[in-house]
């Protein structure tokens, strides 16, 4: 489990257990949930539609054996049911504003009953953009519930009537792999539900989503030129596990994500000119397109493009390997600095062939 998320979850659990620190604990919980949801937002905003029904770990044991779309549906259907049908005793978010039809889901259940290819087939049917909005609506609704809670509410338990109410909604399949959830939830008090599903359940599934998207990136990058159009070496980028690179549809590079069409201006320019990369352009030194418009902040990237022009891509890769052996850094700017000429000199001084 992600240590930072796990530590924050443990801190939250400790704080809410005491009346005097309860409010602080809820604040930590809301902060954790926001951080976790940011992971989902980033995936939805940057990954292609095909990513959401792929199963790179099909057949494995664990939450990562599912799909990105299924994971989103599962996390927030469970939360919707527990927050509304069980705790608030009101109508679930799914049943308002025509969410089910808009998402195009064939089921209203948590999805626990689905197996193997059923999960992939289910995922292909979902409108991910609408599903994301549903997830967000459920999260925001639960956050309101959490802010309204008082310390005395933590010991509240649930009855057979609560159990019957969940069954009547049809939100949990009667399949043996799903129906146990009702007894599980009703066997907890409110404090237990804060842990599962309002915090730890999120962590486990969102960690699995990160593992899925990392594997999808690894696969899509196989055999693809690891040098970006701008000159950045994707194999040496701190985002290499998250990003498929600008030569694939799994591009989450920062400038691409800031562009309305998710295509970096450097990439668009090179494709328009029929160039393999900016390093082939006669206007490279004075170029202010895309990344290069940021000046000192990304002069290190332009320095790499200039280096490629003189020595080639393989030499850049070997040079960056040398730098990583010598220094502990994430972003190449930390080593090459902000001066274009000085950055190029540092690369040349550490050439792979020397």
What is the token pair recorded at 340?
């274009």
pLDDT band at residue 66 under the 50/70/90 scheme: very high
Compute the Cα dihedral for 68, 70, 74, 80 and give only its sign: positive
Q: Which residues pair with 227 in a beta bridge?
A: 233
Cα separation, 342 vs 221, whole angstroms: 31
Q: Report which of 204, 231, 194, 50 is spatially closest to residue 128, judged by C-alpha positions.
A: 50
Q: What is the DSSP string of 19-68?
A: GGGHHHHHHHHHHHHHHHHHHHHHHHHHS-GGGGG--TTTT-SSGGGS-H
What is the token pair recorded at 180?
């146990």
Crossing angle of helices 128-148 and 22-46, in 10° steps, is 170
Crossing angle of helices 3-16 and 200-221, in 10° steps, is 170
Q: Write the CB contacts of 80 (distance below 8 Å, at least 6 apart in sequence).
A: 92, 93, 94, 138, 141
Chain-centroid distance of CA 154 in Å reads: 31
End-to-end CA distance of the chain: 42
Q: What does DSSP assign to residue 87?
A: I
- pLDDT of the residue at 85: 98
pTM above 0.75, yes or no: yes
Q: What is the DSSP string of 254-295?
A: HHHHHSTTS--HHHHHHHHHT-SSGGG-TTGGG--SGGGGGG
Q: 193-245, pLDDT tens digit by residue?
A: 999 999 999 999 999 999 999 999 999 999 999 999 999 999 998 888 888 88
Q: 167-198, pLDDT tens digit by residue?
A: 999 999 999 999 999 999 999 999 999 999 99
Q: 261-313, pLDDT tens digit by residue?
A: 778 899 999 999 999 999 999 999 899 998 888 877 778 899 999 999 999 99
pLDDT band at residue 353 under the 50/70/90 scheme: low
């Amino acid at each position: 489990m992600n240590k930072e998320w796990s530590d924050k979850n443990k801190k939250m659990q400790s704080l809410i257990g005491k009346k005097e620190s309860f409010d602080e604990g809820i604040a930590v919980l809301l902060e954790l949930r926001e951080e976790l949801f940011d992971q989902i937002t980033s995936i939805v905003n940057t990954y292609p539609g095909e990513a959401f029904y792929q199963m790179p770990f099909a057949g494995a044991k664990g939450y990562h054996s599912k799909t990105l779309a299924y994971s989103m549906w599962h996390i927030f259907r469970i939360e919707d049911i527990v927050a509304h049908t069980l705790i608030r005793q009101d109508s679930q978010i799914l049943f308002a504003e025509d969410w089910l039809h808009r998402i195009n889901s064939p089921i209203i259940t948590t999805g626990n009953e689905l197996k193997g290819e059923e999960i992939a087939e289910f995922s292909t049917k979902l409108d991910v953009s609408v599903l994301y909005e549903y997830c967000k609506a459920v999260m925001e609704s639960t956050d309101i519930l959490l802010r309204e809670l008082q310390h005395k509410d933590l010991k509240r338990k649930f009855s057979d009537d609560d159990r019957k109410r969940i069954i009547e909604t049809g939100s949990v399949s009667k399949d043996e792999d799903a129906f146990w959830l009702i007894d599980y939830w009703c066997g907890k008090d409110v404090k237990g539900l804060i842990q599962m599903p309002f915090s730890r359940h999120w962590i486990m599934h969102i960690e699995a989503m990160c593992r899925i998207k990392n594997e999808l990136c690894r696969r899509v990058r196989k055999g693809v030129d690891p040098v970006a159009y701008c000159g950045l070496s994707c194999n040496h980028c701190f985002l290499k596990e998250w990003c498929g690179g600008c030569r694939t549809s799994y591009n989450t590079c920062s400038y691409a994500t800031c562009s309305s069409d998710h295509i970096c201006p450097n990439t668009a320019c090179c494709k328009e000119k029929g160039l393999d990369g900016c390093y082939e352009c006669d206007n490279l030194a004075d170029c202010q397109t895309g990344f290069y418009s940021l000046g000192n902040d990304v002069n290190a990237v332009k320095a790499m493009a200039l280096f490629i022009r003189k020595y080639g891509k393989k030499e850049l890769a070997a040079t960056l390997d040398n730098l990583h052996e010598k220094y502990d850094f994430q972003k190449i700017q930390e080593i090459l600095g902000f001066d274009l000429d000085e950055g190029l000199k540092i690369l040349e001084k550490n050439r792979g062939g020397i």
